[in-house]
A and B are shown apart, each in its own frame.
Chain A
Amino acid sequence: SQKIEQNSEALNIQEGKTATLTCNYTNYSPAYLQWYRQDPGRGPVFLLLIRENEKEKRKERLKVTFDTTLKQSLFHITASQPADSATYLCALPPDSNYQLIWGAGTKLIIKP
């Protein structure tokens, strides 16, 4: 079955630098992949969706790439700020069903 792997160790980044988070999946390439942000005590918040035929998607300081050969998506935050500190989750559909399976998330800490 499809599995999602995100780095379980927290990522510490200096303010102003680019943070890069990784999402790897194990089996077939999904039709799309989503990234969410989750703050403590809150539910995940949708950030970006990238489809299998898109190599890159941008939204303000956020950029997502999707490499179906590597079975990997990268999530970049440029000019990072302490307010970007949160856990970032990737999610993708396991098959044709309209649901998502989720990675465990990577905790990002931006230091001033």
Chain B
Amino acid sequence: EAGVVQSPRYKIIEKKQPVAFWCNPISGHNTLYWYLQNLGQGPELLIRYENEEAVDDSQLPKDRFSAERLKGVDSTLKIQPAELGDSAVYLCASSLDSSTDTQYFGPGTRLTVL
């Protein structure tokens, strides 16, 4: 069974440039999460989708971040414009059983903003 797929794995951009990350969750997983992880820290939730509906985006900086999950499968997270402080690893996860929220993570995208 294929795991959660993310691309790209690495991205280096200059500040004020736009950037987008893509995630394909495990087949059949209706819940999809985007997290941000800084070095030495745990993941911090940015947004959670149930199918195509964003049910928790309270931690998403909406002035520059946006996300979509068309058709309730793949998802894209965008930053425009990127700032130096956005440098981090962006993780995508999916889950099947929402009652215990066991999550399956992709490898992440390491973003460096210069």
**B106 near A: Cβ within 8 Å?**
yes
**Assembled-state Cα–Cα distance A45/B108 (Å):** 12
Q: Which residues 66-101 of A have a CB within 8 angstroms of B?
A: 89, 91, 93, 97-101
Of A32, A43, A100, A101, most B-chain CB atoms within 10 Å: A43
A98 cross-chain contacts in B, Cβ below 8 A: 31, 48, 98-99, 101
Is the pair A103, B42 in contact by a Cβ cutoff of 8 Å? yes
Using C-beta atoms within 8 Å of the partner chain, give the interface range for chain A: 20 to 34
Is chain A's binding surface mostly helix, strand, loop or mixed?
A: loop
Is the pair A97, B56 in contact by a Cβ cutoff of 8 Å? yes
Q: Give how many B residues have a beta carbon under 8 Å from the other chain's beta carbons.
A: 25
Is chain B's binding surface mostly helix, strand, loop or mixed?
A: loop
Is the pair B102, A102 in contact by a Cβ cutoff of 8 Å? no
Is the pair A43, B40 in contact by a Cβ cutoff of 8 Å? no
**B4 near A: Cβ within 8 Å?**
yes
**A112 near B: Cβ within 8 Å?**
no
Q: Which residues 67-114 of B have a CB within 8 angstroms of A?
A: 91, 93, 98-108, 110
**Assembled-state Cα–Cα distance A42/B45 (Å):** 17
Is the pair A99, B45 in contact by a Cβ cutoff of 8 Å? yes
Is the pair B56, A104 in contact by a Cβ cutoff of 8 Å? no
**Assembled-state Cα–Cα distance A11/B20 (Å):** 37
**Assembled-state Cα–Cα distance A8/B102 (Å):** 24
What are 10 A-B pairs with beta-carbon distances under 8 A? Answer: A34-B101, A43-B4, A43-B93, A43-B107, A46-B102, A97-B56, A102-B42, A105-B40, A105-B41, A105-B42
Other A-B contacts than A44-B91, A98-B99, A102-B42, 19 sampled, CB-CB below 8 A, are A32-B100, A41-B108, A43-B106, A43-B108, A44-B43, A45-B105, A46-B103, A49-B102, A91-B42, A93-B101, A98-B98, A99-B56, A99-B101, A100-B45, A101-B42, A101-B45, A104-B41, A104-B42, A105-B41
3 smallest beta-carbon distances between A and B, as pairs:
A43-B105, A102-B42, A98-B98
> Interface of B with A (CB < 8 Å)?
4, 31, 33, 40-45, 48, 56, 91, 93, 98-108, 110
